[in-house]
Amino acid sequence: MNILEIKHLCKNFGNHSVIRGLDLSVPEHSVFGFVGQNGAGKTTTMKMILGLLKPDSGDIVVHGEKVSYGERKSNVSIGYLPDVPEFYGYMNPMEYLKLCGEIAGISNSKIKNRSEELISLVGLEKVNRRISGFSRGMKQRLGIAQALFNEPSLLICDEPTSALDPIGRKEILDILSAIKGKTTVIFSTHILSDVERICDHVALLHDGKLALCGTLSDIKKKHRHNGFVIEFAKADDAESFMDCEELKSPEITAKKDKNTITIKVLDIKKDGQFLIALLAKKKITPIKFEIMEPTLENLFMEAIQ
């Protein structure tokens, strides 16, 4: 079942159109990577899902319920982490979470349990000072805690990892993948390695439309080129392998770059055997021999062009 469905969504700011007919569906219990350049319209789309911005046309359905601008009904099942989460600086984290719980209409005893649970999930249990002294990373963690407070079935995170240090980033990603079982996560980013790390579905927003959408493995499979990357210890080895007469058939294209040769073939199985045999015949031992995997970066560059 799809937890979120977007149909023909359009949004203009003045005469600048940001979203032009976006169609998107997010299956339940997935970690959905929403990728796009700066200014592609990721935040705008998310705000429309939350009913904070008014779409010019199109439908957004969350949990089978249509989102209407300014209404709060659909928000009950959504948790939102803004790109730069800001809190009331004069409160401490526990007080802030209590306020969140009260606003969401959760009973007092449950608020206490839930606050403690979340505060340890995000690793802020030893922090008892006011939020005004928090670093960006700490605010990001508290942001996740508040977004998860009402046990949302859909968690929307707007660039949760940008501007964090590598350790903070890893921890945020770990938290997101830890809650995967209970909650569907949509997170926008322009850091592709984050997507590869935790997402199972991915969509690329470009020019106000989806340029690419599907499961990560499907996309990769679809765009895989048959080929091998062979890396040699010495440039001489690469040179002499490159010069082999056997490689000069029309089925095979080889490209050399320093110690590495990239070879595109028609049949992975047959030609792979052939290459290994050739290496053995020439008595060259490569230090790496692998099937070429498309990187997300290449895929996206391809999709955008």
Partner 1 sequence: MRNYFIFLKKEIIESIRTYKLLIMLIVFFVFGMMSPLTAKLLPEIFSSFTTEGITISITNPTAIDSWTQFFKNISQMGLIVMVILFHGILATELSKGTLINMLTKGLSRSTVILSKFTSMAIVWTLSYMLAFIVCLGYTVYLFPGDQTSNLLFSVFCLWLFGMFLLSVLLFASTLIKNNYGPLLITGGVVAVLTACNMASTIQKYNPSSLASKNVALLTRAVKPSNLFYAVLTSVICILIMVGSSITIFRKKQL
CB 214 within 8 A of CB 27: no
Stretch that binds partner 1, among 79-87, 208-216, 268-276, 297-305 (CB under 8 A): 79-87
Binding partner 1 (rule: CB under 8 A), the pick from 82, 93, 160, 208 is 82
Binding partner 1 (rule: CB under 8 A), the pick from 9, 78, 148, 230 is 78
Show the site string, 158-187: x = touches partner 1 by CB under 8 A, - = not.
------------------------------
Q: What is the DSSP letter of 214?
A: E
Regarding 146 and contact with partner 1 (CB under 8 A), the answer is yes
Of 211, 145, 139, the C-alpha closest to 175 is 145
Token pair belonging to 70: 């300014």
Binding partner 1 (rule: CB under 8 A), the pick from 99, 242, 252, 276 is 99
User: What b/e readout covers 90-128, taking b as 16+ CB neighbours within 10 angstroms?
Assistant: eebbbebbbbbbeebebeeeebeebbeebbebbebeebe
Using CA atoms, how far apart are residues 248 and 254, in angstroms rounded to an integer?
A: 8
Binding partner 1 (rule: CB under 8 A), the pick from 30, 43, 45, 75 is 75
In terms of CB distance, is 41 or 79 closer to partner 1? Answer: 79
Stretch that binds partner 1, among 83-91, 170-178, 195-203, 228-236 (CB under 8 A): 83-91
Residue 46 CB burial class (10 angstroms; 0-12, 13-18, ≥19): buried
For the chain, list the strands marked E by DSSP.
2-13, 16-27, 31-36, 57-62, 65-66, 78-81, 154-158, 184-189, 201-206, 209-215, 227-231, 253-257, 260-264, 288-291
In terms of CB distance, is 47 or 114 closer to partner 1? Answer: 47
In terms of CB distance, is 135 or 273 closer to partner 1? Answer: 135
Scan for tokens 């008014």, then name that residue.
54
Amino acid symbol at 20: R
Regarding 87 and contact with partner 1 (CB under 8 A), the answer is yes
In terms of CB distance, is 78 or 202 closer to partner 1? Answer: 78
Regarding 136 and contact with partner 1 (CB under 8 A), the answer is no
Regarding 76 and contact with partner 1 (CB under 8 A), the answer is yes
Show the site string, 41-70: x = touches partner 1 by CB under 8 A, - = not.
------x--x-xxx---------------x
Stretch that binds partner 1, among 60-68, 80-88, 166-174, 202-210 (CB under 8 A): 80-88
Q: What angle do CA 1, 100, 168 make, to 5 degrees?
A: 75
Binding partner 1 (rule: CB under 8 A), the pick from 134, 149, 187, 300 is 149
Q: How far is the CB of 118 from partner 1 (least distance, A)?
A: 14
Helix axes 93-103, 136-147, angle to 10 degrees: 30
Using CA atoms, how far apart are residues 204 and 188, in angstroms rounded to an integer?
A: 10
Question: What is the binding site for partner 1 (CB under 8 A)?
Answer: 47, 50, 52-54, 70, 72, 75-76, 78-80, 82, 84-88, 90-91, 99-100, 102-105, 146, 149-150
